[in-house]
Structure 1
Amino acid sequence: MKKNILLIILNSAYGGAERHVLDICRYLDRSKFNLSIIVPENTKIEEELKGMKNLQVQTVNRGSSSILSMSKLIKQMNPDTIHVHSPRATLMAAIAVGLAGFKGNFITTAHGWIPNRLKLRKGIELVYISALKRYSKIIAVSDDVKKTLNSNNIPLDRIETIYNGVEIEETKLSHTASSRKVVFLGRYIEEKGLPYLLEALKEINKSELKNKLTVDFYGDGPLKEYVDQTIKELNTNNVRNCGFMNPDQVIKTLRNYDILIMPSIQEGFPYTLVEAFSAGIPVIASSVGGIPEALENGFNGFLTTPKSSEDLKIALETFIRLDDAKVLELKKNALDTSKKFNVVDMVKYIEKNY
């Protein structure tokens, strides 16, 4: 008999957690599982789910009333397993499950930790940790997230690391041009470390290397105006803001570049990292979260100190000066690394928890 699975995610923005949920919807074995999902109304993830076969989609608002809505839906659906994603949903679903009297398998995935930028972060952390203790199993997207959970009194035997995975496609490695093509791809939010990258580009723009690289930014978010203004102040055609990129275009677009840059100050295990590897390009990234669990300095990219524009500048200058043979070696190593992070394997590991 098939198991009935209910996914819940309540974020309004589209990011790694939403991508992860969509991958579960796409790859879950429907011969073994019936799948339903609760998402916020009028959001990107709701739009992405439209037309997906063998999937029951329910929408709720993001306010406190969604707790009662979810509770009613849980009673109606009577799933065998509820799998929740993101801190907001983790808290609200814990209350809804209690109201519904649900006694089945109750799982949440921790995609990272509470953002440091939030004013009430300490209080939110306490509430989040309290909610986590109601779950029978917690999936962490990296060993770093697992350690953070354990340091907050979540027993290790209730936590399992399952890395994010991507589709592994045939990728032909290309030779590079004399000008290195660099790409940033992510939400324009504080956690992504954009000021440090832009400061590094200001310094390179003053040097003899300024015409040796082009940098394209893809994304959207609260810091968009700041990014636009800073790029304008650089007064160069070599740095551009290219706007939001549809998720299904990411790997295809990344293949047009030589390296991805991720100056993050806080991460769980970013999809963009392994998407870059799958596209056959190395990565310059801050040594935060689960990034060092996949990125090896000098092998498939370069690790930098978080919040250091100087480190980012040095890494970019180092990459610019590499000969084509070394760049191709980094690309090959990146592509080989991607095979360790296969979306099919990711969903199989999740299925075992169902």
Structure 2
Amino acid sequence: MKIIQVMPDFGLAGAETMVENLSCGLVAEGHDVLVISFFELHTAITERIENRGIKIEYLGKKRGFDPSIVSKMRKIIKAYQPDVIHTHRYVLPYAFLASMGLKAKRVHTVHSVAQKEQTKVGKNINRVLFRHFNVAPVALSEEIQKTIQEVYGLPISRVPVVFNGIDLSRCIVKESYARKDTFTVLHIGRFMDVKNQELLLRSFAWFKGQYSDARLQLLGDGELKENMMQLAGQLNIADAVEFAGLQSNVYPWLHNADVFILPSKFEGMPMTLIEAMGTGLPIIASNVGGIPDMLTDQKDAVLIEPKEDCVISALELIYFDEEKRKYLGRNARDRSAVFSEKTMAKRYIDVYIDASGEEVL
């Protein structure tokens, strides 16, 4: 098959990493992949994609609605003649207009709970395209599948579930769970309200006050980063919190940490969680969105309500119990096999085959 993957850009984030892994997985399965990026943003992700021999077409999109994108995409689609156009995030309306009258299957991955993924206008457009124009939505988890059914009025049978996947061979598997001189808590995520870094910092401030060897590492960037740096200062924990910025390779950070924490308000199927699982790192995560479909509380993670007392209790549990750290970490590593790049690619191939390919006039 010839498949086009369409993204707004390839900043260092979860959906972008998923498209990278899917594109590489599809090529490994013998398919031809072309990637379209609306914005001219070159990152470690685009470098890795291109190093695998996968071409990326950069469209040079302007901020706001840019109708020139439709004609640029249409030219590429007509020349490439794909069997499938697979969209992500907010690009579906552009791709749909660009492919009208052309025979290609259209698939769209919903990367978060449907209520939160799009604006009100975006949800209205998606509802029409899903219900009347043969665009096949894909959910990352059973929880997201339910939200698609609720928001778009689709039967469950029309919404396949495909788990995100990573190249597990890149993980540096944890060997020792003994506590060292420093107890390192690691968080990876964009600095935005949904990721709940304020809760994490406030919880860690109490924890650091009790356990002086604790250290918090925060990887990522975003609009709230400066606010969180100021908050760390106000809480008198700035010397124990490292704001490490965007990292093109998170695996050494995961390997060296003692626990990974993700106290989000809601989530789809976070790639960072799969990376922590593949490392064999003990995990504390909110019991929200698609996370309970990935992990089982007290078996391969500690799942919590995103509240300060819950975060603190979970940190104390992991801090004091080496056997618990080992048990959770090794079970998470075993569970990560479900979330491999190869498995994800094969499931999407099934979705592509099953999707309708009728022309939309």
* Counterpart residue number, 2:355: none
* Counterpart residue number, 1:23: 21
Give me the whole-angstrom Cα distance separating, in 2, the residues matched to 1:64 and 1:195.
38
Cα offset, 1:116, TM superposition: 4.7
Where 1:327 maps in the other structure, the secondary structure is helix
1:96-135 to 2 correspondences below 5 Å: 96-98=98-100, 101-113=101-113, 116=116, 121-133=119-131, 134-135=133-134
Structure 1 residue 65 and structure 2 residue 68: aligned?
yes
Where 1:50 maps in the other structure, the secondary structure is helix
Q: CA RMSD in A?
A: 2.2
Asked whether the 8 Å contact 2:263–2:286 carries over to 1, the reply is yes
Cα offset, 1:76, TM superposition: 2.1
Give me the whole-angstrom Cα distance separating, in 1, the residues matched to 2:113 and 2:70.
22
Deviations 1:270-307 (A, max 9, x none): 0111110111102111111110112222222211113x
**Range with greater deviation from structure 2 (153-162 or 57-66):** 57-66
Asked whether the 8 Å contact 1:40–1:46 carries over to 2, the reply is no
Structure 1 residue 140 and structure 2 residue 143: aligned?
no
Give me the whole-angstrom Cα distance separating, in 1, the residues matched to 2:29 and 2:193.
42
* Counterpart residue number, 2:338: 340
Moved over 6 A (4+): none
1:37-52 to 2 correspondences below 5 Å: 37-43=35-41, 44=43, 45-52=45-52
Asked whether the 8 Å contact 1:40–1:59 carries over to 2, the reply is yes
Cα offset, 1:66, TM superposition: 0.8
* Counterpart residue number, 1:227: 228
Q: Describe the shift of the 1:111–1:221 C-alpha distance in structure 2 as closer, same or farther (beyond 3 A).
A: same
Structure 1 residue 257 and structure 2 residue 257: aligned?
yes
Asked whether the 8 Å contact 1:186–1:192 carries over to 2, the reply is yes
Return 5+ residue gaps in structure 1 as ranges: none
* Counterpart residue number, 2:310: 311
Which has more helix, going by share of residues?
2
Deviations 1:125-182 (A, max 9, x none): 2233333333442221111111111112123222111101122337242132254321
Return 5+ residue gaps in structure 2 as ranges: 353-361
AA aligned to 1:126 is N
Give me the whole-angstrom Cα distance separating, in 2, the residues matched to 1:146 and 1:97.
26
Relative to the length of structure 1, the TM-score reads 0.88
Give me the whole-angstrom Cα distance separating, in 2, the residues matched to 1:223 and 1:28.
36
- Percent identity reads 27
1:204-283 to 2 correspondences below 5 Å: 204-205=207-208, 207-209=209-211, 211-236=212-237, 237-246=239-248, 249-283=249-283
Q: Describe the shift of the 1:38–1:117 C-alpha distance in structure 2 as closer, same or farther (beyond 3 A).
A: closer
Relative to the length of structure 2, the TM-score reads 0.87
Higher-RCO chain (CA-CA 8 Å, sequence separation at least 6): 2
Q: Aligned pair count?
A: 340
AA aligned to 2:241 is V
